[in-house]
Amino acid sequence: MKKLKYIIATLLISIPCLFYAQNVVYKPINPFFGGDTFNYQQLLASANAQNSFEEDSGFSFDQGSDLDNFTESLNRQLLNSLSRDLFQQEFGDSALTEGTYVFGSLVVEISPSNAGLLVNILDTSTGEQTQIIIPN
C-alpha cells in the first residue's frame, strides 16, 4: 500500500512536467520569405553548388580568315540566287499565292492569317520547321 502511494505521488508530481508547453515560432530562413537578409549569400552559394548546368555563351568572336569569309559569302550568294530562281520559276512575276509547294525535301505552305501572310517551311528529311509572317 505504501508503494502504491509513492507511485501515485511520483506520477502526480511528474505529470505536470510532461505537459509543459512552449511557444513554437516559425522563423523563415530565406530572405525572400521574410528571413534574415544575411542568409542571402549562403543560400545563393548553396544553389550555385547544386547547379549542374554550365552556361554556354554560344557566341564565338573569333574572326575567320579572309579565305573562309570569302567562301561563306560566295555560298550565301549562290544559295540566294538559287532560291530566287526557284521562286521565280514557281510564282513568276506575281506575288506569293496561297498553297503548298514542294522543293525537294522542303515543303512550303503559304496561307493568310490575321497578322499577314503566313509561310510555313518544313524540312521533311530532318523535321525542322520554320514559320515566317509577312505583315500586311
- With cut-offs at 50, 70 and 90, classify the pLDDT of residue 90: low
Q: Are 110 and 96 in contact (CB under 8 A)?
A: yes
| Grid cell of 92 as nine digits | 513568276
The pTM score is 0.38
Q: Are 110 and 117 in contact (CB under 8 A)?
A: yes
Q: Are 116 and 129 in contact (CB under 8 A)?
A: no
pLDDT at 129 over 80: yes
Domain ranges of the chain: 1-47, 95-136
pLDDT at 83 over 80: no
Question: How far is residue 87's CA from residue 107's CA, in Å, rounded to a whole number?
Answer: 13
